[in-house]
Amino acid sequence: MAMWVFGYGSLIWKTGFPFDDRLPGFIKNYRRVFHQGSTDHRGTPEFPGRTVTLEPAPGEICWGVAYKITKEEDKKDALLHLEVREKQYDQKEYLDFFTDINDSEPAVSGVMVYIASPDKKSNNNYLGPAPFEDIAKQIVKAEGPSGPNRDYLFNLEEALVQLGFKDKHVTDLATHVRLILSATQDAATKDV
């Protein structure tokens, strides 16, 4: 029996495990938000970056990619990889995955999804909502072992565009981060 994993953040562009098939599509009743702190990839414990998690949102959809893994050895490798990579995500859900907006029946049921919950007891890296400007500034400044937090945001934006998906939250945030970076660069140029 195949194992399916849904990626809605960096898994879209950087999988890191073997898979047999890759299906673009979406899950229902969730939205992608930059509420999870990253202290091990895109930030540090002293200055966490912000990465995406999902929050319940009745009537909304979240676009991403589902990966099909069929070989037993590949399933083990994928789970080992994901348990380390997604260790700051404290919940696993098994959801319906759709490939066509007009479909009432899912293309795949039981797709595994890692979610960082807002429960501070099981997820001490949850940052939660913040003013848009504050989230953008944090993303501009944060950097971790996997690189600048802004690269994570820009890679996510580009990956979604390449798939033909629109996510206003991601696009608006990326646009704002670019404006901050441009203003910072302009100010540095004037000081020279």
- Do residues 155 and 13 touch, judged by C-beta distance below 8 A? yes
- Do residues 51 and 7 touch, judged by C-beta distance below 8 A? no
Please list, in sequence order, all residues whose beta carbon lies within 8 angstroms of the beta carbon of residue 72, skipping any fewer than 6 positions away.
none
Q: Which of 46, 60, 73, 86 is catalytic?
A: 86
What is the phi/psi pair of residue 67, to 5°?
-110, 130
Q: Residue 120 corresponds to which amino acid? A: K
Three-class secondary structure of residue 182 per DSSP:
helix
Active-site residue flag, 86: yes
**Catalytic residue set:** 86
